[in-house]
Structures are given as C-alpha cells and as structure tokens.
C-alpha cells in the first residue's frame, strides 16, 4: 500500500505538527499528544474534552474550537489515548466550572477516561462523563462491551459544546450530551477495508463484489456480508436499521458520513437515496451534514447517523462553531 507518510512510527506526531502549522488558533502539544483551543480556559465555561485513537480525522482534534471541544487527546492509530493525556487536557481547559469527558464506547477509551477522571478529581477538577454508544449494527464487538460509539459523537460534541458556550452548568451540559446520545443511532457500510500504517495492508479481507453491512470504525465485523448493492439498496438497509431502533417522533439531524475514501460525488448521491427512504417512512429532516467527519483511515464506505431533536437541541446545533473540521455562523 502506498501512503503519504514518512515512517509508521511517527505518523501521529507528523500529523500533529501539520495540524499546528495549519491552525495557529490551536495549541498543539506534539510530545504530550494534547490539542487545546488557544484561548482555554474560558472563564465561566465548562470545558469539553474528548479523544480516541488516531485515524478517524477530523474526529477529535479537528473539532477543537469555539462552540465545540475545548481539548482533544489523540492516541496512536486505532489505540486509546492514555490517562495522563486526558488529565493534562482537563487541567488546561478547567476554568473552575468543571470538565465534561465525552467518551466513545470502546473498552480502552472507557477505562482510560475513567482513570483520568479519578486523577482529575484528586487534583480538584470536577469531572462529569458521557458515553457515546449509538451504533445499532452489533451489540458487542472486538473493541466493546455494548454498542459502539460512532457518528453520534459529532452531534454530542457540537450540541454540548454550544451548551457550554452559553455558560450552562456542568450538570446541564452533561444532561444535554446524554440526551443527544440517547436520541441518536448510526449504521455503517464498508466497501473496502482500511489499511493501518503499521500493517501497510488491508486490515481484513473483503473480496471484490462484496460489502459489509454494519461495519465499525476500526474495521470491526458488521452484521453480514452481501453482494455489492446499489446506493439506493444500501440506503434502504441503513435507514431501516436506524429508524427501527430509534423510532423517531421528532425531526432528525442527518449525518451522511464518509469513511475516508469515498468521494463526495458518491456521498451526495447516497444522501439523495437516504432522503428518499426517510420521506417514504414519514421521517422529517431538520438539518443535513454530508462529508468525511468520523473516518476510518482509507476505508471506502459510509455511515448514516440520525439524531431526533427538539427545539432546544436544534437551536444548540445551529449555534456558531469554529473548528478546523466544522464551521458555521462565524
């Protein structure tokens, strides 16, 4: 596999140096692997900290900035960051209003964020947590006990970030984050395997002419393999899986997310099919986001996330945000 890297051992550090060069509004600690908005801590605001393995960009470092995350902790590729990173991030963003840890449901992330929360409390930092577990495809996987955390992470970080920017207290920001997670469901499809820099070849075998329904963002197995389907057929499978689990009663936010190697031409076409199926099912759409946001290195494929919203969640979603990976209203 050809990759635009130097050596696998420095791929994360090299990317962080590049992020720092491109975004001077961020403070990027390459050695300690912490990305912080430069104006942190912001007086009177809850700090939001998230993180996870690298390879899912722009998640999470690309979502650091006003209206979203205060800091992010990148681990090695597909590997959880360590508690020291999370503690350093919490200390950097704590204004005295407390810190919310946003944690995707992967075993390493959960254990390390739990440990970091205990360490932070020992240092006098008030910490609350929210677990993102929106993937309907499988209950347990190679990386999780329970449902995986995937595309809803973006909605949780965006809406909770807006709540924090309004000066809401920690308990309220946490409650809103939990509401967003509980109101969200996701389903992913792989058309090809991803290739990690360390391995230099596909992480699993997906023969030509086949796809995997319900794939995870690390290449974990999904529900089933099928012969290649049309965009419309894939949309019908994804919408059915999500809607039947979510049973939305309110309008929904729609995230049509690319897994890293799918062109926007295909994603917009897939979005058209998703809208067709949602309309057939009578599900009203409030807002739409199409693009690569929660990726899996060079995997071809897409994921669908729906989040049903009330007036408050929609207002917070629409609030200004200014990050490398998401920006509007500013």
Asked whether 196 and 75 are in contact (CB, 8 A), the reply is no
Q: Which residue has the tokens 């605001």?
A: 45
Q: Give whole-number Cα distances, 64 to 91, 182, 277, 325, in Å.
A: 16, 23, 34, 8
State the catalytic residue, choosing from 23, 60, 218, 275.
Answer: 218
Question: Can you tell me the distance from the alpha carbon of 100 to that of 193, in angstroms, rounded to the nearest whole number?
Answer: 33
State the catalytic residue, choosing from 23, 56, 60, 275.
Answer: 56
Asked whether 188 and 66 are in contact (CB, 8 A), the reply is no
Q: At what angle do helices 170-182 and 152-165 cross, to 10 degrees?
A: 150
Q: Closest Cα partner for 143 from 221, 59, 86?
A: 221
Query: Count of CB atoms within 10 A of residue 26's CB?
Result: 22
Question: Can you tell me the distance from the alpha carbon of 122 to that of 219, in angstroms, rounded to the nearest whole number?
Answer: 37
Question: Can you tell me the distance from the alpha carbon of 44 to that of 94, in angstroms, rounded to the nearest whole number?
Answer: 9
Contacts with 103 (C-beta within 8 Å, 6 or more apart), sequence order: 50, 109, 110, 113, 129, 130, 131, 132, 149
β-pair partners for 322: 327
Please say if 23 is a catalytic residue: no
Active site residues: 56, 218
């Amino acid at each position: 596999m050809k990759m635009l890297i130097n050596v696998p051992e420095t791929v994360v550090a090299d990317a962080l140096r590049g992020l720092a060069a491109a975004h001077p509004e961020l403070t990027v600690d390459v050695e300690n692997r912490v990305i912080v908005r430069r104006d942190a801590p912001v007086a009177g605001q809850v700090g939001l900290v998230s993180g996870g393995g690298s390879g899912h960009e722009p998640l999470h470092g690309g979502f650091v900035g006003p209206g979203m995350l205060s800091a992010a902790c990148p681990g090695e590729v597909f590997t959880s960051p360590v508690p020291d990173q999370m503690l350093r991030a919490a200390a950097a963003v704590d204004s005295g209003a407390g810190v919310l840890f946003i944690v995707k449901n992967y075993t390493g992330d959960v254990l390390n964020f739990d440990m970091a929360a205990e360490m932070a409390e020992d240092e006098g930092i008030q910490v609350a947590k929210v677990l993102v577990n929106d993937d309907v495809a499988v209950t347990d996987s190679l990386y999780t006990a329970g449902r995986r955390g995937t595309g809803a992470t973006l909605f949780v970080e965006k809406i909770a970030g807006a709540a924090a920017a309004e000066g809401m207290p920690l308990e309220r920001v946490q409650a809103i984050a939990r509401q967003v997670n509980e109101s969200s469901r996701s389903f992913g499809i792989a058309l090809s395997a991803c290739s990690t820099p360390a391995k230099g070849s596909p992480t699993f075998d997906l023969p030509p002419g086949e796809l995997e329904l319900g794939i995870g963002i690390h290449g974990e197995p999904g529900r089933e393999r099928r012969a290649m389907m049309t965009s419309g057929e894939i949309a019908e499978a994804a919408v059915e899986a999500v809607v039947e689990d979510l049973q939305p009663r309110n309008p929904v936010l729609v995230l049509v997310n690319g897994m890293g190697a799918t062109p926007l031409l295909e994603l917009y076409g897939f979005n058209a099919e998703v809208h067709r199926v949602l309309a057939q099912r009578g599900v009203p759409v409030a807002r739409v986001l199409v693009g690569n946001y929660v990726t899996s290195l060079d995997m071809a494929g897409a994921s669908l996330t729906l989040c049903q919203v009330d007036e408050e969640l929609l207002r917070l979603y629409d609030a200004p945000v200014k990050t490398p990976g998401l920006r509007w209203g500013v």
